[in-house]
């Protein structure tokens, strides 16, 4: 949802969190036990520069991406000793291609 903060509703934040944070968390919860059993694995979370630098009109997006960045970074520190690597990819600003 791209809109000034004053035009956002709680549902906009909930939707952003459902997709960009909870989606990341649930996927990780599904694979992490198997990786721990094997003693190795790689988790790659694609986040966004919006999770590190918030810009006007993208508050719900930035909040969800910041949560995903924090989760990924925290998880990396906790599972490293189990032989699991967690990589957080933070792409920069994307602009649509001109045709």
Instruction: Provide the annotated active-site residues.
Output: 61
CA 21 to chain centre: 5
> What is the three-class DSSP state of 42?
strand
CB-based contacts of 2, cutoff 8 Å, min separation 6: 57, 58, 61
């Amino acid at each position: 949802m791209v809109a000034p903060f004053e035009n956002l509703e709680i549902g906009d934040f909930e939707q952003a969190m459902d997709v960009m944070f909870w989606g990341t968390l649930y996927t990780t919860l599904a694979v992490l036990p198997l990786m721990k059993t094997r003693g190795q694995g790689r988790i790659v979370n694609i986040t966004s520069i919006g999770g590190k630098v918030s810009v006007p009109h993208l508050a719900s997006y930035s909040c969800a991406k910041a949560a995903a960045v924090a989760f990924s970074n925290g998880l990396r520190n906790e599972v490293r000793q189990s032989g699991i690597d967690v990589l957080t990819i933070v792409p920069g600003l994307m602009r649509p291609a001109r045709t």
